[in-house]
């Protein structure tokens, strides 16, 4: 499209005359109707500018705006205006405004502005014309900022001490000091339909932009940004958010930007800007260079996106790749050599089902405690055994002493030494291994647990063990199937957000023969179809021989671990595991078909 041939440029040139330029000036068609001598109207026609189509009168006879506002002022048919949508030009339901207003009081306050007040604003480059346009007043002690509503009347005003911004009060109808009426200069929203608009934190900061001729609205405090309905800006094409240089203000701005979406752009401060810096302070410090600095902030702004930038994505990819090549990531292993070889270590979401009495808990306790011994933080959510039994069995396995020997009053010197060393090992291990029996655990609480142990142990990674999936709390027992699937989705999210590896015990259904003798498959996991989609690795621990399912007090039974499904590894038999009774552990050996 050639310069000046876009619809907006053609619209203005038709009604104002002249030749196209990036910025055109013409006689203002509105000045005489508003009691001004003939003035000049400036229109920005650079199509690459955020303010393409914005006009303003240098006399400030009318507020500036975009083509639709120009057409309304000039009584032109809206159908002639580029971007006019008749389906959207429906007057929204207006609130029922009170009969009484404080317009006369505001006019009286404007008449009371003193030379010293004008001088106070002049320090920041704000002239009398802006104060007149914005109808700023003075009550003898406080500056008065009137909050005119969309019906053109003022029902409340914020009165601020000139030297202490924290000293303020609301005057008038207090209902209009709250949502949805506490947006200062709200009338500019309609004037900027199909155009760009600033929203500032602090009314006085908006005045600095008004001095430069920009359109804008303001809120009294950053926390109002978090409450503003995004629909207010539905017809705005670009929303520039300007806040004080504080973390709290930035968070509030991000909250609004997230809700407004791609059209929002937060103006960021330079890294060396003082904390709490504002536009008014910048205007005072920068003087004549203020306009240039605002222009630079606008150019540096980026459209708010729910996505990280491609550059940041690539850097995060490289950083994650480097971490996965590091020692800490490689240390995430079960301690069972054949299992680690089959699934590449303990990464992602791993679900292990098992037949009754096959030793699922014992298997998990061994893996969890061995990882904790290697200083890997482990959260163990136990709904089966109880903390005391878990610690006792762990101590028995480490010391190579049966539970009854550990409880004996006297032990031979060699056994006593082993027991003492095991106790010291368990004590050190518990810094990295936290057993949780809370049956009211929630995904939010689990995230807090992960954050805590990562901070406490200074570790990048965490392992979460859940014994078992079917004992996790659900809203109602009748929602068990839905609840299990919901928990699996939460685990996926925690895995991805917090670099967590999961080991999750699942119950099984019996095979078609009513036993656990057939080759396992995904359909035998009890009560969840989502395991097929959620698990990175789905495994099943089956008795190897017919008598392997008897009570653990018998001769050492053997079980076979099968990898049923995996995102990255080949399914099949992993290894055989013989219970090392009475020491509450397993020994690993190649599966029978692999020997």
Supply the DSSP string of 214-273, one letter for each residue.
--EEEESSHHHHTTS-GGGGTT-SEEEEE--SSHHHHHHHHHHHHHH-TTEEEPPPPTTS
Q: Which residues contact 541 (CB under 8 A, 6 or more apart)?
A: 352, 353, 354, 355, 358, 359, 360, 363, 559, 560, 561, 562, 577
Q: Which residues contact 375 (CB under 8 A, 6 or more apart)?
A: 432, 457, 459
Indicate the DSSP class of residue 514: S
Q: Residue 478's CB: how many other CB atoms inside 10 A?
A: 9
Q: At which residue do the structure tokens 């639709």 appear?
A: 68
Q: Which residues contact 3 (CB under 8 A, 6 or more apart)?
A: 20, 47
Size (the chain), residues: 595
- CA–CA distance from 319 to each of 151, 323, 324, 330, 539 (Å)? 55, 6, 9, 15, 30
> What is the Cα–Cα distance from 550 to 300, expressed in whole angstroms?
70
pLDDT of residue 552: 43
Where do the DSSP E strands lie in 277-431?
349-354, 378-382
pLDDT of residue 479: 63
pLDDT of residue 547: 46
Look at strands 378-382 and 462-467 and give their pairing: parallel
Per-residue pLDDT of the chain (595 residues; tens, 9 = 90+): 567 789 999 999 999 998 999 999 999 999 999 988 889 999 999 998 999 999 999 999 999 999 999 999 999 999 999 988 776 644 445 678 999 999 999 999 999 999 999 999 999 999 999 999 999 999 999 999 999 999 999 999 999 999 888 999 999 999 999 888 999 999 999 999 999 999 999 999 999 999 999 999 999 999 999 899 999 999 999 999 999 999 999 999 999 999 998 899 999 998 899 999 999 999 999 999 999 999 999 999 988 776 666 777 788 888 888 888 888 898 999 999 999 999 999 999 999 998 888 999 999 999 999 999 999 999 999 998 999 999 999 999 999 999 889 888 888 999 999 999 999 999 999 999 999 998 889 999 999 999 999 999 999 999 999 999 989 987 654 566 678 888 999 999 999 999 999 999 998 887 666 666 667 888 888 877 778 889 999 999 988 865 444 444 445 789 999 999 999 999 999 999 999 989 999 999 998 765 4
- The pTM is what? 0.59
User: Which domains can be identified in the chain, with CATH numbers?
Assistant: 7-80 (no CATH), 103-300 (3.40.1360.10), 327-594 (3.40.50.300)
Q: Which residues contact 455 (CB under 8 A, 6 or more apart)?
A: none
- Yes or no: say if 314 and 467 are a contact pair by the CB < 8 Å rule: no
pLDDT of residue 4: 74
Residue of 214, 153, 157 lying closest to 182 (CA atoms): 157
> What is the Cα–Cα distance from 411 to 417, expressed in whole angstroms?
9
Question: For the chain, first and last CA: distance in Å?
Answer: 75
Q: At which residue do the structure tokens 């240098």 appear?
A: 58
pLDDT of residue 27: 94
């Amino acid at each position: 499209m050639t310069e000046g041939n876009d619809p907006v440029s053609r619209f203005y040139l038709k009604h104002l005359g002249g030749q196209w330029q990036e910025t055109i000036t013409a006689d203002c068609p509105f000045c005489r109707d508003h009691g001004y001598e003939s003035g000049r109207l400036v229109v920005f026609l650079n199509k690459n500018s955020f303010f393409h189509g914005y006009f303003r009168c240098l006399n400030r006879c009318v507020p500036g705006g975009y083509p639709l506002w120009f057409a309304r002022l000039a009584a032109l048919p809206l159908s002639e205006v580029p971007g006019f949508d008749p389906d959207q030009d429906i007057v929204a339901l207006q609130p029922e405004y009170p009969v009484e207003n404080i317009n006369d009081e505001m006019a009286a306050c404007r008449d009371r502005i003193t030379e010293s007040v004008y001088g106070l604003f002049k320090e920041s480059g704000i002239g009398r014309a802006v104060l007149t346009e914005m109808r700023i007043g003075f009550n003898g002690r406080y500056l008065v900022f009137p909050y005119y509503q969309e019906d053109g009347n003022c029902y409340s005003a914020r009165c601020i001490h000139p030297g202490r911004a924290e000293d303020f009060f609301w005057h008038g109808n207090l209902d209009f000091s709250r949502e949805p009426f506490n947006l200062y200069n709200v009338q500019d929203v309609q004037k900027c339909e199909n155009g760009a608009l600033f929203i500032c934190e602090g009314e006085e900061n908006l005045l600095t932009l008004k001095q430069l001729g920009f359109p804008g609205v303001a809120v009294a405090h950053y926390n109002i940004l978090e409450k503003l309905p995004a629909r207010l800006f539905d017809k705005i094409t670009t929303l520039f958010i300007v806040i004080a240089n504080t973390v709290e203000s930035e968070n509030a701005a991000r909250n609004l930007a997230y809700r407004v979406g791609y059209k929002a752009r937060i103006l960021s401060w330079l890294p060396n800007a003082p904390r709490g810096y504002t536009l008014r302070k910048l205007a005072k410090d920068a003087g004549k260079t203020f306009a240039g600095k605002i222009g630079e902030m606008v150019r540096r702004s980026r459209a708010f996106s729910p996505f990280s930038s491609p550059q940041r994505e690539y850097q995060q990819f490289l950083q994650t790749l480097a971490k996965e090549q590091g020692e800490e990531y490689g240390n995430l292993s079960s301690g069972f050599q054949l299992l680690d070889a089959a699934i590449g270590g303990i990464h992602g979401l791993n679900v292990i089902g098992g037949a009754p009495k096959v030793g699922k808990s014992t298997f998990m306790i061994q893996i969890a405690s061995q990882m904790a011994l290697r200083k890997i933080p482990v959260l163990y959510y136990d709904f089966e055994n109880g903390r005391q039994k878990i610690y006792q069995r762990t101590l028995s396995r480490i010391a190579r002493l049966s539970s009854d020997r550990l409880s004996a009053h006297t032990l031979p010197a060699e056994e006593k030494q082993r027991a003492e060393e095991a106790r010291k090992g368990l004590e050190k291990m518990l810094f990295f291994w936290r057993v949780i029996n809370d049956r009211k655990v929630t995904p939010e609480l689990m995230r807090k647990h992960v954050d805590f142990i990562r901070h406490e142990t200074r570790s990048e990674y965490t392992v979460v063990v859940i014994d078992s999936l079917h004992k996790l709390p659900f809203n109602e027992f009748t929602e068990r199937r839905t609840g299990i699937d919901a928990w699996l989705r939460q685990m996926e999210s925690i895995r991805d957000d917090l670099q967590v590896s999961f080991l999750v015990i699942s119950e099984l259904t019996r095979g078609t023969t009513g036993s656990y003798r057939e080759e396992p498959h995904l359909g035998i996991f009890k009560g969840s179809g989502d395991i097929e989609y959620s698990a990175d690795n789905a495994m099943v621990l089956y008795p190897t021989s017919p008598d392997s399912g008897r009570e653990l007090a018998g001769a050492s039974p053997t079980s076979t671990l099968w990898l049923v499904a995996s995102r990255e590894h080949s399914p099949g038999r992993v290894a055989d595991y013989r219970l090392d009774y009475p020491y509450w552990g397993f020994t690993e050996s190649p599966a029978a078909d692999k020997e």
